[in-house]
Amino acid sequence: MTDAIHRRTLLAAAASMPLGLTAGCAPRPGKAGGRWTNPLVRQRADPHVTRHGGHYYFTASVPEYDRVVLRRATTLQGLADAAEAVPWRRPASGRMAGYIWAPELHRFDGRWHIYFAAGDSDQKFRIRTYVLASADPDPMAARWSLLGQLETPWDSFTLDATSFEHRGTRYLCWAQAEPGIGTNSNLYLAPLATPTTLARAPVRLTVPELDWEVQGFKVNEGPALLAHGGRLFLTYSASATDARYCMGMLSADAGADLMDAASWTKSSVPVLATDPAAGVFGPGHNSFTTDASGRPVIVYHARGYREIKGNPLFDPNRHARAEHVRFDAAGVPRFMPPAPDGPVGG
Q: Which residues are designated catalytic?
A: 46, 221
For residue 292, what is the DSSP state?
A: T
Any idea of the CA torsion for 102, 273, 9, 167, to the nearest 10 degrees? Answer: 40
Q: In angstroms, rounded to a whole number, what is the distance separating the alpha carbons of residues 320 and 47?
A: 6
Contact 262, 243 (CB under 8 A): no
Q: In angstroms, rounded to a whole number, what is the distance separating the alpha carbons of residues 291 and 75?
A: 8
Angle at 150 between CA 105 and CA 97, to 5 degrees: 80
Q: In angstroms, rounded to a whole number, what is the distance separating the alpha carbons of residues 124 and 114?
A: 20
At 92, give phi and psi (nearest 5°). -70, -30
Question: Of the candidates 317, 313, 321, which has an alpha carbon nearest to the alpha carbon of residue 341?
Answer: 321
Contact 273, 246 (CB under 8 A): yes
